[in-house]
Structure formats: structure tokens, C-alpha cells
Amino acid sequence: MAQRQFKLPDVGEGLTEGEILQWLVAVGDTVTVNQPLCEVETAKAAVELPSPYAGTVVELLHEAGTTVDVGTPIITIDDGAVAPAPAPDGDADPGSDGGEPAAGLIGGAAPGGRTAVLVGYGPRTTEARRRPRRSAAPAPAAAPVASAPVPEPVGADYGSGGQQRPPLLATAPDMTVKPVRHGGLEVGRQAEAHAAAEEAATSLGAAPGRGRARPLAKPPVRKLARDLGVDLTVVTGTGEGGVITREDVTAAAAAPADRPGLTAVPAVTSTAGEQRIPIRGVRKHTAAAMVASAFTAPHVTEFLTVDVTRMMKLRSRLAARPEFAGVKVSPLLFVAKALLLAVRRHPMVNSSWDEAAQEIVVHGQVNLGIAAATPRGLVVPNVEDAGALSLTELAGALAELAETARAGRTAPGDMTGGTITITNVGVFGVDTGTPILNPGESAILAFGAVREMPWVHKGRVRPRQVTQLALSFDHRVIDGELGSRFLADVGALLSDPGTALAF
């Protein structure tokens, strides 16, 4: 029998480690190709890793909660195949000897020295061919002695060599890959064993083809359960379709200690009211990035108080228009549009400092980052080429970005490549702040709460809608004059949206 080890791949852009949040399979479980094996939290997001092999789980090499370096084996799977003899000319199929998967396949090498992670992730570097059918009949006596492997279902082991075609899949937005079934292709004892396993799994409430049932819950609810030490597998969901809600988790956590559903929480320790939380995942990445930014780029922050009464009236008018039906028209939308228009006039603000090349890189398009608070910590997904979007398209993009971030489904690729950022502290009732630059960017705009305040308007003190803006910028790239002009233009567009016609 051939045992294969699956190594932790690079699920982001050059990440070096990831924390195994939970195992979705156990020793002895039968797994299929692309069945999620575990949930891993990296410095940017939480993703499920699909299995490149079909077979039986032999060993889980790391406990849940362990931080593992990229390239380290995390699970051993017995694929049930007989290992073929080495080719006499030494030109063996890549990955067919139980070693490294073939280039371009899950766990195999990818361009740039990286590791392929998901089906469809990155360009393929090898050509996959269907493995010729082999008969299970005994070989003739005159033929060389060789072990004939039991026939395998198509796609059952596309990570084991370049002579087998991987199934065609589409990756979901949350970077999880759904298992693909190939009915009618299993023969002999394998078909019988597969059917028996399906029947046993169904009787236990598990999904067909999976080792055990996975509780239905959204990523924020899973995070809450881990923090409170609640085992979701014994919690009954009250949401639609049996989905476990936050209320279900908090109720389970408040239950007596001897009630099933409560487990120890190794990640958080407390003594006499003191709580210690290990720095991992998104929090660890954010901390390192903020320290590097704060002590690398010389920050300058400027503030501007703006009368946005006209903007708020325009917001009410636009929200009633049919083209904005079903789309949230928020003050942030107008701030984003004002920033994008101001960048057109001052393109140097949309740039970065290249220390290695000793150059200032002025970006050709605006990838607008929006700082978002999530249960896993602060993330900054970005809207690619936001300057090319219409106001309705920008509104839809911001709404989708916020919804995805709140659900914890932001893909690592959506958090790279940003060129300038907005942080909306006003949603928390905060007036302003001194934001720290997102690494690799030269400017970040903080948008405060919109409040009704006394304001001198047309020579009289009247109640007006007022907000505060704070612009932090890298003084190596942006001098005081440029930063001031840029911030003044953003303020003018918010104070009088009609000014946009002059941009």
C-alpha cells in the first residue's frame, strides 16, 4: 500500500506558516479527492485545504492549534494503491512513487518556487494525461513479475503523477474546493467498499464521501466557538437548515460545565482574571505590518473638518433613484469617490516607495483598500482598479467587499496589491484619528462620524452635517504641499459634490 504525505502549501502570496484551526477528518476516515481536510488560518485569511489524494487517513501529524511551516507534512493518507516498480531508465512519473506531487498539481511545484494549492490556482507547468486502463487479470508467466494495482476511480489520485487527469473544478469565493463525484467508475471490491462507507457515513449523519459530518456554521461563529471552548459537533443549530448561530454557541458556553459541547480552549489562558491570548494568524501579521510601517515610513498626519450637508442631501436623492435600488448608498461611497477623483489630479499620492531599487513607483491604477474589522482582526481587502468604476459599480463593490469581510471569506489575493486605503472610523462613532499606513502604500485617509454641529453658513450659525478627515502620508514620497492639496480637494468634493464636474 502507498502512503502519501500532504505538505502544508503556500495558500497566499509568499506566506511562511499557518495555524491548523481544526481537522475536518479523523484517523481511519475515508477521504475523496478535493474533500476538505482541515481549516488553516494564515496571516491573511482562513481557508480549507482540499485533499489531493483519495484513500484512508493514517495519521494526523499535527494537533489543532499548532502553527506549521509551509512545506511541512501535516497528514498521511493511504491511497490503497500498490507502489509501482521504479522505471529502468530512471524516468519515473513525478509523484507516482509516493514522493512529491507533480508540478502544477496540488502540493506540487509551481512557477517561482511556490507550491500549487488549489485546483485552478496558478498556471499549470505540466500536461496531464489519462492513465491507461490496466487489467486486473494475472500477468502471463513469460511477462516480467509485477504487481497489478487494483483499478482506481478516475480522478482519485491526480496528485500522484502526471499521467492522470485532474477533475475540472471551480474554486468558490472562499477558496474552498467542493468534492467532485465520479459515479459508475468504481469496480469490483472498491465499489462495494465505497458503497458501504457511504451507507455508514449516512447513518451517522455525515455527508456522503466524507468521514464525518461537519457542523453548519459561518466562520465568525466557528471563531466564537473556539474562543469559548464550544464543540460545534454536539451543538444543535436553530438557524435555517440547522445552521448554528452565535446564540446557539453562547447558550452552549453558558451551559453547566458537565454538559457536552464544552471543551478546553488551549489558545487562551487566564489566571486570577488575567487573560493571555497567543499572537497568531491575522493578528500576528497585522502587528508585524504596523510596526514595520510605523518605524519605516516617516508619517505625517493632517486634519480637515468639512461641512457635508450637501453630500448627505445628495445621498438621499441618489438612494431613491432606480439604478441604486438594492444598493447601499453610504457616506463612505462618497468619500471613496472623492478620493478617487482627487487621485486623478494628484497621481503621486497613489504611489509607493521601492527601497531596494531606490525608486518611487507611481501606480497606473487605483486599487482602493478599505480597512475592515472582522472576528479574526483587521484586514484590508481592496477594490481593484476602483477608479474605472461608475458610482453604482463602486457602491456594489464596496457592499460585496464588506459582506465578504464580515463573513470571514476574504481571499488572500483580495488583500494584496492595494495602492491607497480608507479607514472608516465613523461607523464606531469616532470623530478622527491618526491612521498608520498600510505597508507598501503612501497614503491612508481616515473618515470620521458625520454629526450635526453648529456651523457658520452664509454668515449665520446654523446646524450643519459635519465630519472630520485625517490623511496620513509617507513624507518620503508626499511633501506637505502635495498632501495638503490632496486633502483639500477631497474635502471640497465632499462639501460641494458639484465640484466633481471640474475634475
Average pLDDT over residues 162-185: 38
Q: Any alpha helices (H) in 89-187, and if so which ranges? A: none
Grid cell digits, residue 478: 508626499
pLDDT tens column, 11-23: 765 667 888 888 9
Distance (Å) of CA 41 to CA 16, 19, 155, 236: 12, 5, 28, 25
pLDDT of residue 67: 86
CA distance 497 to 503: 11
By annotation, the residues acting in catalysis are: 475
Topology (CATH level 3) of domain 1-211: OB fold (Dihydrolipoamide Acetyltransferase, E2P) (2.40.50)
Cell of 122: 496558478
Query: Distance between CA 280 and CA 228 in Å, rounded?
Result: 17
Which of the two residues, 66 and 479, has the higher pLDDT score? 479
pLDDT band at 135 (very low <50, low <70, confident <90, very high): very low
Greatest mean pLDDT among 144-153, 160-169, 237-246: 237-246
Least confident of 88-102, 235-249, 355-369: 88-102
> Which runs of consecutive H residues, i.e. helices, occur in 180-303?
188-203, 219-228, 246-253, 281-294
| Beta pairing partners, 275 | 270
Place of cell 478546553: 264
Judge whether residue 183 has pLDDT over 70. Answer: no
* Residue 272: predicted pLDDT: 65
Averaged pLDDT for residues 454-474? 96
Enter the CATH code of domain 219-276.
4.10.320.10
Residue 331 CA to residue 60 CA, distance in Å, equals 49
- Report the pLDDT value the prediction gives residue 14, as an integer from 0 to 100: 61
Superfamily assignment of 281-502 in CATH?
A: Chloramphenicol acetyltransferase-like domain (3.30.559.10)
466 within 8 A of 473, measured Cβ to Cβ: no
Q: What CA–CA distance (Å, rounded) separates 422 from 339?
A: 9
Q: For residue 494, give every residue at least 6 positions away whose Cβ sits within 8 Å of its Cβ, in sequence order, or none.
A: 306, 308, 311, 334, 335, 338, 467, 469
- Main-chain dihedrals φ then ψ at residue 127, nearest 5 degrees: -105, 120
The domain segmentation of the chain, as residue ranges, is 1-211, 219-276, 281-502
Contact 286, 439 (CB under 8 A): no
344 within 8 A of 387, measured Cβ to Cβ: yes
pLDDT the model gives residue 209: 41
Q: Is 188 in a helix, a strand, or coil? A: helix
pTM of the entire predicted model: 0.53
